């Protein structure tokens, strides 16, 4: 799935908080990935289609340094990542084995990957930060992935931070974390998200001017009428 420049630009102006509200109104409650926090403060809001990778618990005959040379490895998966994607990695919330380090992240930058999102952790944190690859994760740890995880594949449905992620679902990441937009809901979020942001900006302005919250947030009929008039 290609994400148009227009869609990327629009989503970059919609907070993850707003997206969760818009999707909640459609009955989707579980779209925020637990444990995926910005590794570096101040990262801009980023948008991209999900490129999925999956780990399972470590098994001693498979999770070895030699496995890094296997055709089914994180190294091979990185070479399949398309430009502009967000790599979303299911690490099962394991926080004592780093899934990627500085070398792998540097290669992702060369591949044009937008960001790395995982419910696990990275290693070589100083080097990872030095690559300038935007990373959302649950921290960092010195041991390599094979100390606690076995890599099993990419390009398939995964669970990341308790959220079901399918390849090419849309991921939006900002300081509040990472949210998933199902492909079928993209147009809805593009339309309703812009309106939600406009409405909340108007409400904030009313609050700054001294308005009380009851009847304003949420709006009663009178406030809705005033808001509608403000858009004309």
Predicted confidence at residue 147, as pLDDT, reads 95
pTM of the model: 0.93
The beta-carbon contacts of 72-79 under 8 Å, at least 24 apart in sequence, are 72/151, 72/152, 72/153, 73/151, 74/99, 74/100, 74/104, 74/145, 74/151, 75/104, 77/53, 77/151, 77/153, 77/154, 78/104, 78/107, 78/108, 78/111, 78/113, 79/111
pLDDT digits (tens, 9 = 90+) for 32-74: 999 999 999 999 999 999 999 999 999 988 878 888 888 889 9
Evaluate if residue 77 carries a pLDDT over 90: yes
H or E element at residue 165: strand 163-165
**pLDDT band with cut points at 50, 70 and 90 for residue 118:** very high
Determine if residue 96 is labeled as part of a ligand binding site: no
- Phi then psi for 150, rounded to 5 degrees? -120, 125
**99 labelled binding-site residue:** no
119 marked as binding residue: no
Fold topology of 5-183: Glucose Oxidase; domain 1 (3.50.30)
Given this model, what pLDDT does residue 137 score? 98
Q: How far apart are CA 160 and CA 97, in angstroms?
A: 16
Instruction: Look at residue 1 in the predicted model and tell me its pLDDT.
Output: 56
> Any binding-site annotation on 102?
yes
Q: Per-domain residue ranges for the chain?
A: 5-183, 188-231
Tell me whether residue 103 is annotated as binding: yes
Q: Is 61 annotated as a binding residue?
A: no
Q: Provide the pLDDT confidence category of residue 206 given band limits of 50, 70 and 90.
A: very high
The percentage of the chain sitting over the pLDDT mark of 70, rounded to a whole number, equals 100
Average pLDDT, the chain: 96
Taking Cα atoms as reference points, which of 170, 165, 123, 119 lies closest to residue 144? 123
């Amino acid at each position: 799935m290609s994400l148009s420049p227009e869609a990327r630009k629009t989503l970059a102006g919609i907070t993850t908080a707003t997206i969760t509200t818009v999707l909640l109104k459609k009955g989707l409650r579980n779209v925020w990935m637990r444990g995926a926090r910005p590794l570096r403060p101040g990262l801009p809001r980023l948008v991209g289609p999900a490129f999925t990778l999956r780990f399972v618990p470590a098994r001693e005959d498979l999770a070895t340094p030699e496995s890094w040379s296997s055709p089914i490895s994180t190294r091979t998966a990185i070479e399949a990542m398309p430009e502009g994607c967000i790599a979303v990695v299911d690490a099962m919330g394991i926080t004592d084995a780093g899934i990627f380090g500085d070398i792998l992240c540097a290669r992702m930058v060369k591949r044009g990957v937008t960001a790395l999102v995982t419910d696990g952790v990275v290693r070589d944190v100083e080097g990872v930060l030095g690559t300038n690859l935007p990373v959302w994760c649950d921290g960092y740890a010195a041991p390599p992935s094979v100390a606690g995880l076995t890599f099993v594949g990419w390009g398939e449905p995964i669970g990341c931070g308790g959220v079901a992620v399918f390849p090419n679902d849309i991921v939006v990441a900002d300081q509040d974390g990472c949210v998933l937009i199902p492909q079928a809901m993209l147009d809805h979020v593009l339309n309703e998200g812009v309106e939600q942001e406009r409405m909340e900006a108007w409400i904030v302005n009313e609050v700054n001017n001294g308005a009380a919250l009851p009847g304003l947030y949420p709006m009663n009929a009178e406030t809705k009428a005033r808001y509608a008039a403000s858009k004309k």
